[in-house]
Amino acid sequence: VTVRTDAPVDTDLSARTFWAKPFEEREKTFAWLRDNQPVSYHRPYESTLVPPDENTPGFWSLTKHEDIKEVSRNQDLFCSVKGVLMEDFPEVVQVASSSFLMMDDPDHNRLRSIVSRAFTPKRTKTMEDWIQETAKELVDEIVDLGEGDFCELFAKHLPGRIFAHFFGVDARSEEAHQVMEAAERMLAWDDPRAAAGRDAITTFAEECERIHDVALAVAEDRRENPKDDLVTWVVQAEWEGEVMDDWEVASFFSLLGSAANDTTRHSVAHAVRLFDENPDQKALLLEDLDGRLPNAIEEVLRHSTPVMHFRRTATADTQIRGVDIKEGDKLVMWYCSGDRDEEVFEDAARFDILRANAKHHLAFGAGGVHFCIGAALGRLMLQAGLREIYTRIPDITLTEGYEIQVNNFMHGVHAMPVRWTPPRST
Ligand code: HEM
């Protein structure tokens, strides 16, 4: 069951060089694995966080939609408390950044439920107008430029401004900017451009600390001056009979800040890229923007899978597809592979905004207890952003220089230069 190395494709998911390849190139490997070795064992990742030694175990790769769902939905057998990423992090760093993402129920649920009421589809719906207004302001600010890096100009500010509101800081403040930038660099620890000369672990830890600083300052204020907002709920909420200490609050906001910002930023960039690469689909979208946008967003999420994996650890010996899994083994659920599984998505490589089952994608997880708490908000931000862009600057086109991050976790866009016709000159 160790991954075959005689395959006609490169099967070494543990090499950093693999994660520097273009996404579609990597998909050839996942396609081969799905067809030939859907459950395969790999050597540990060439991590720069905690470099593996001869005692570091490898991991199982799950590449089929069905297997990923099964593992995701069985937290008794496949737990999160031992780590949720392919790479190991030093424990202190993990605890500082992951909060309930790295817990199992009942602890997970106790913490998650403190904030889940802020993100219900119903409550999210009440923010629709305000989110659309934020998207409009952002386009107002850039529309006359006619060109620039889409990520810098737009993609990162959309979730950045909206999340600042949840954080309780002014959307244009230095603090909001700090959280936005830190979230991006924190989740790109393997990319030398995000690291800017630092090693991976320092990059992750320093950026996480930046989010902590902002969170703790706001938390301090809300303890004195409670409001009806997320930070107040968190500082007042009781967990195991006590309110959370600073450390727990900071970890909580580090999770939220990174989960909300970076994911949405990359998703909106992928949307614009996919419509640029597929003019027929763009024409379909523009024919009926409001009608077709919701399903188009599901298809963007399926096709691009911004969060490519999460990991679980087996709590007992078991089998998947007849393969023996031992207690303590790591299992990586490749959402990016499940989203291209031909058994679920016909002609899966094709970007098809009318695809009937696009929403069966795994971009928000595979239906287990950790399913993305911000899915409704993420969809709404994408809808507002894309509606604004394709109404105001529909001829937006990519120019030279699209680059993705070196990253085994996020399908992250490093740079995406674009050009459009400013409305005044049309
Ligand atoms: C399009 C944007 C987004 C994508 C692609 C995305 C993706 C994901 C994925 C794949 C998971 C893990 C699911 C699992 O393991 O079952 C997750 C969890 C999570 N997401 Fe999102 N997310 C997005 C937006 C957001 C937003 C806007 C928030 C804001 C609150 C958010 C907050 C979270 C949190 C807190 C978790 C952990 C949930 C838990 O452990 O119970 N996400 N997200």
User: pLDDT at position 163, please?
Assistant: 84
Q: State the Cα–Cα distance between residues 415 and 184, nearest whole angstrom.
A: 12
Distance 202 CA to ligand 1 centre (A): 24
Q: State the Cα–Cα distance between residues 20 and 10, nearest whole angstrom.
A: 13
In sequence order, what are the beta bridge partners of 60?
A: 41, 331
Residue 305 region by backbone torsions, left for phi larger than 0, else alpha for psi between -120 and 50, else beta: left
Q: Is the Cβ atom of 259 under 6 angstroms away from ligand 1?
A: yes
User: pLDDT at position 113, please?
Assistant: 87
Distance 378 CA to ligand 1 centre (A): 9
User: pLDDT at position 243, please?
Assistant: 80
Residue ID of nearest Cα to ligand 1 atom 17: 372
The phi and psi torsions of 365 (rounded to 5 degrees) equal: 110, 180
User: pLDDT at position 296, please?
Assistant: 98
User: pLDDT at position 188, please?
Assistant: 87
Residue ID of nearest Cα to ligand 1 atom 37: 101
- Give which of 410, 328, 327, 338 is closest to 367, Cα–Cα: 338
User: pLDDT at position 239, please?
Assistant: 67
Q: Which residue among 80, 255, 372, 382 has the greatest number of ligand 1 atoms within 8 angstroms of its CB, and so is best to mutate?
A: 372
- Cβ partners under 8 Å of residue 287, min gap 6: none
Q: Is the Cβ atom of 80 under 6 angstroms away from ligand 1?
A: no
User: pLDDT at position 314, please?
Assistant: 98
- Give which of 41, 35, 32 is closest to 2, Cα–Cα: 41
- Cβ partners under 8 Å of residue 123, min gap 6: 117
Q: Is the Cβ atom of 373 under 6 angstroms away from ligand 1?
A: yes
Looking from the CA of residue 335, the nearest atom of ligand 1 is 10
Q: Is the Cβ atom of 307 under 6 angstroms away from ligand 1?
A: yes
What predicted TM-score, i.e. pTM, was given to this entire model? 0.95
Looking from the CA of residue 371, the nearest atom of ligand 1 is 16
Q: Is the Cβ atom of 377 under 6 angstroms away from ligand 1?
A: yes
Q: Which residue among 71, 310, 362, 364 has the greatest number of ligand 1 atoms within 8 angstroms of its CB, and so is best to mutate?
A: 364
Per-residue pLDDT of the chain (426 residues; tens, 9 = 90+): 899 988 999 999 999 999 999 999 999 999 999 999 999 999 999 998 888 999 999 999 999 999 999 999 999 999 999 999 999 888 888 888 899 999 999 999 988 988 887 788 888 888 899 999 999 999 999 999 999 999 999 999 999 998 888 778 888 888 888 888 888 888 888 888 888 888 889 988 999 999 999 989 999 999 999 987 788 888 888 766 778 888 888 898 889 888 888 899 999 999 999 999 999 999 999 999 999 999 999 999 999 999 999 999 999 999 999 999 999 999 999 999 999 999 999 999 999 999 999 999 999 999 999 999 999 999 999 999 999 999 999 999 999 999 999 999 999 999 999 999 998 755
Distance 263 CA to ligand 1 centre (A): 8
Q: State the Cα–Cα distance between residues 52 and 42, nearest whole angstrom.
A: 13
Looking from the CA of residue 366, the nearest atom of ligand 1 is 16
Tokens of 270: 């992928």
DSSP 343: T
Q: Is the Cβ atom of 306 under 6 angstroms away from ligand 1?
A: yes
**Cα–Cα distance list, 221 to 44, 182, 227, 347 (Å):** 44, 22, 10, 53
User: pLDDT at position 175, please?
Assistant: 85
Q: Quick check: bond before 52 cis, omega within 30?
A: no
Q: Is the Cβ atom of 365 under 6 angstroms away from ligand 1?
A: yes
Contact 327, 314 (CB under 8 A): yes
Q: Is the Cβ atom of 230 under 6 angstroms away from ligand 1?
A: no
User: pLDDT at position 330, please?
Assistant: 98
